[in-house]
């Protein structure tokens, strides 16, 4: 297979970026998108040119590192799945493919296709944890949890923190990410002692990072590699309202 790539190149945050055309020739349809970029980079290095900078780690759709926008879609055309799980057979032979970094103000560009997504880390650091010392792991069945709550907690915990939800949202909203992190612990007994302070701190951190508001376009749900439901955003809103009332009441 043969493809024409238009790749965003920008040497640093202050430099002016642009789309640069490259050719990918002799690509196997079973090659992943990131492997295809590896091959293109090998050709660039062989010619003495600067390789395309992009992030990757596990390449198994788990780490959430490969923050690429492919033909205008966060993580590309195969949903659910991360960019590393997109295979070149998904595109027509001879197709032109536009590759850009995630576009969201809270994700400043570092170089080429690499963005800084530490804003998501700071949201989690604000309260997405259990502070109480729990000792060693208890026996699995010692804490009884209704199955539907355990299932919902697991659904929320599946978030890999890739940031595609914010990149796909026209408002660059991180509500789905924050909702997953808040809901994960709100569904479980271990998260109850800090339930009120957690949601207040995390939403405050989210706003401070410059993420926009949710206007229910559901693009976040559409591109989420973990298939996290946008219904968790409604839960986040409920958690926040209840926590605000308790705070105002002095509880």
pLDDT digits (tens, 9 = 90+) for 71-116: 999 999 999 999 999 999 999 999 999 999 999 999 999 999 999 9
> Which residue in the block uniquely carries the two structure tokens 């973990």?
226
Parts of the chain belonging to CATH 3.10.20.30: 3-111
Q: What percent of the chain has pLDDT over 90?
A: 91
pLDDT of residue 249: 87
Q: Which CATH architecture has domain 118-248?
A: Orthogonal Bundle (1.10)
**Residue 216 banded pLDDT, cuts 50, 70, 90:** very high
Mean pLDDT of 17-29: 97
pLDDT of 150 above 70: yes
pLDDT of residue 42: 97
Q: Which of 40-54, 143-157, 166-180 has the lowest mean pLDDT?
A: 143-157
Q: Which of 57-61, 132-136, 187-191 has the lowest mean pLDDT?
A: 132-136
pLDDT of residue 47: 96
Dihedral pair phi/psi, residue 4, rounded to 5°: -105, 125
Task: Return the CATH fold of 3-111.
Answer: Ubiquitin-like (UB roll) (3.10.20)
Q: How far apart are the first and last CA of the chain?
A: 64
Parts of the chain belonging to CATH 1.10.1060.10: 118-248
What would the DSSP string read from start to end of the chain? --EEEEEEE-SSTTSPPEEEEEEE-S--TT-BHHHHHHHHHHHHHHTTPPPPP---SSSSSSS----EEETTEET-SSSSS-GGG-BGGGS-TT-EEEEEE---TTS-EEETTEE--HHHHHHHHHH-S--S---SPPPTTSS---HHHHHHHHHHHT-----HHHHHSTT-B-HHHHHHHHHHHHTSGGGSTTHHHHHHHHHHHHHHTT-B---S--HHHHH-TT---THHHHHHHHHHHHHHHHHHTT-
Say whether pTM exceeds 0.85: yes
Dihedral pair phi/psi, residue 160, rounded to 5°: -100, 5
pLDDT of residue 134: 67
For 54, left (φ over 0), alpha (ψ -120 to 50), or beta?
Answer: beta
pLDDT of 137 above 80: no
**Residue 251 banded pLDDT, cuts 50, 70, 90:** low
Name, in order, each residue with C-beta under 8 angstroms of 63's C-beta and a sequence gap of 6 or more: 57, 160
Instruction: State the CB neighbour count (10 A cutoff) for residue 28.
Output: 13
Distance CA 7, CA 204 (A): 35
């Amino acid at each position: 297979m043969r493809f024409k790539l238009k790749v965003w190149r920008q040497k640093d945050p202050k430099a002016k970026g642009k789309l640069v055309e490259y050719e990918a020739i002799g690509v196997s349809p079973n090659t992943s998108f990131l492997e295809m970029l590896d091959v293109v980079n090998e050709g660039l290095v062989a010619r003495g040119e600067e390789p395309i900078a992009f992030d990757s780690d596990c390449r198994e759709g788990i780490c959430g590192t490969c923050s690429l926008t492919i033909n205008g879609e966060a993580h590309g055309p195969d949903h659910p799945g991360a960019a590393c799980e997109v295979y070149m057979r998904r595109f027509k032979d001879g197709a032109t493919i536009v590759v850009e970094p995630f576009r969201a103000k809270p994700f400043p560009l570092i170089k080429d296709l690499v963005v800084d997504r530490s804003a998501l880390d700071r949201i989690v650091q604000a309260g997405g944890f259990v502070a109480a010392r729990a000792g060693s792991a208890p026996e699995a069945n010692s804490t009884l949890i209704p199955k539907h709550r355990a299932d919902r907690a697991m659904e929320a915990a599946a978030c890999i923190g890739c940031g595609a939800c914010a990149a796909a949202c026209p408002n660059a909203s991180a509500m789905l990410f924050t909702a997953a992190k808040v809901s994960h612990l709100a569904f479980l007994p271990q998260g109850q002692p800090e339930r009120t302070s957690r949601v207040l701190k995390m939403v405050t951190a989210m706003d401070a990072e410059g993420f926009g508001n949710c206007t229910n376009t559901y693009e976040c749900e559409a591109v989420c590699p973990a298939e996290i439901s946008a219904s968790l955003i409604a839960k986040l809103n409920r958690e926040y309202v209840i926590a605000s009332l308790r705070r105002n009441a002095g509880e």
